[in-house]
Amino acid sequence: MILTITMNPSIDISYPLEAFKLDTVNRVKNVRKTAGGKGLNVTRILKQLDTEVVASGLIGGALGEEIKKDLDRNGIAHDFLPISGETRNCIAILHEGQQTEILESGPVVSAQEAEAFLKHFEKLAAQAEIISISGSLPEGLPVDFYRQMMQVCHGKPVVLDCSGEALAEVLKGDVKPSLIKPNAEELAGLLGRSISTNVDDLKNTLSDAMFSGIEWIVVSLGSAGAFAKHQDKFYRVTIPKIAVVNPVGSGDATVAGLTAAIAEAWSAEAILKQGNVLGMLNAQEATTGQVELANYQALFDQIQVEEV
Ligand code: ATP
């Protein structure tokens, strides 16, 4: 099975408004509430790909129960560790073609809960074929928590999609993830400098000693596709132009596509194609983490992967 980890999940609430008025009352009808957080977006795509997936992480309180119910309704297996804090709400106000987000920081995790989760994770990791870890760490967990998780995952392949200090800490550790998927902004943040996305510059950037020992680095570039390093080879992924509805969560869909393809030991080219197809399919839908697989093959066939 594929194990997905979401350490700070949320109930994602979307409020579609014709106009967003400040300092007065806004009434909203078509409220949508779904289980969210990057790891759960990955989970939903993996489920649609028909893989055997188990979602884990930390949940608490009434909203934690709502997350479990949402996953049950969607037939998604889960094994979260309950904590005493309350799982958070994240609100997206959709107005005039814009999206204003209000994101709660979420519960503060205690040292005992952190220790209990490491044990819980160690047990689940033993049963997993591959592990996909996405998103930020909740408050209370040390910045090297993902590095600690890497140390107890029994050498299973880990696809890690996080940024900033949490990622920098993992890269310093001796147990490396199999794949990281920064976007250009996250890559620049990691290196502490601006980056250029031309081929030679990206080849240089991804050859930085910081990334040594990582089998796959996939830099997602939105509508410009992706650039990847696999072992000592570099690939440019060129994608066709598509009609985009909502690209939020396309990175998570890409992570799901890459993870499922790696689990099935596909070729480097096919792994990259599947990752990009899922990102594009997500961008073509209004709902994050929902894809129309009928369009999969047509997109797959139009993607070019060239070694550069
Ligand atoms: P998020 O944080 O919203 O999940 P991200 O920044 O991590 O996104 P992106 O690089 O935006 O990830 O998108 C991942 C992949 O999805 C891209 O590599 C591409 O294949 C596809 N994609 C995203 N946006 C577009 C777009 N506007 N047009 C076509 N494909 C897109």
Ligand 1 atom, smallest distance to 275 CA: 20
The answer on pLDDT for 246 being more than 90 is no
The answer on pLDDT for 6 being more than 90 is yes
pLDDT, averaged across the chain: 96
Ligand 1 atom, smallest distance to 226 CA: 18
Domains of the chain, CATH where assigned: 2-18+32-307 (3.40.1190.20)
Query: Which residues does ligand 1 sit against, CB inside 6 Å?
Result: 183, 220-223, 225-226, 239, 242, 244, 247-252, 254, 276, 279-280, 283
Residue nearest to atom 27 of ligand 1 (CA): 223
What is the pTM (predicted TM-score) of this model? 0.96
- Ligand 1 centroid distance, CA of 156 (Å): 27
Ligand 1 atom, smallest distance to 249 CA: 4
- Report which of 81, 82, 225, 258 is spatially closest to residue 158, judged by C-alpha positions: 258
- Ligand 1 centroid distance, CA of 50 (Å): 22
Of the chain, the percentage scoring pLDDT greater than 70 comes to 100
The answer on pLDDT for 208 being more than 90 is yes
pLDDT tens digit string along 51-98? 999 999 999 999 999 999 999 999 999 999 999 999 999 999 999 888
pLDDT tens digit string along 161-199? 999 999 999 999 999 999 999 999 999 999 999 999 999
One DSSP character per residue, 45-76 reads HHHHTT--EEEEEEE-HHHHHHHHHHHHHTT-
- Ligand 1 centroid distance, CA of 279 (Å): 6
Give the mean model confidence (pLDDT) for residues 118-144: 98
- Ligand 1 centroid distance, CA of 192 (Å): 22
C-alpha–C-alpha distance, residues 250 and 289, integer Å: 8
Ligand 1 atom, smallest distance to 279 CA: 16
Give the model's confidence band at 243: pLDDT under 50 very low, under 70 low, under 90 confident, else very high.
very high
Give the mean model confidence (pLDDT) for residues 220-224: 97
ipTM rounded to 2 decimals: 0.98
pLDDT tens digit string along 93-113? 999 888 899 999 999 999 999
Residue nearest to atom 11 of ligand 1 (CA): 222
Residue nearest to atom 15 of ligand 1 (CA): 279
What pLDDT shows up at residue 158? 98
What pLDDT shows up at residue 97? 83
Give the model's confidence band at 287: pLDDT under 50 very low, under 70 low, under 90 confident, else very high.
confident
- Ligand 1 centroid distance, CA of 185 (Å): 12
What pLDDT shows up at residue 252? 97
What pLDDT shows up at residue 159? 98
Ligand 1 atom, smallest distance to 225 CA: 18
Question: To test the ligand 1 pocket, which listed residue (250, 252, 281, 287) has its Cβ within 8 A of the most ligand atoms?
Answer: 250
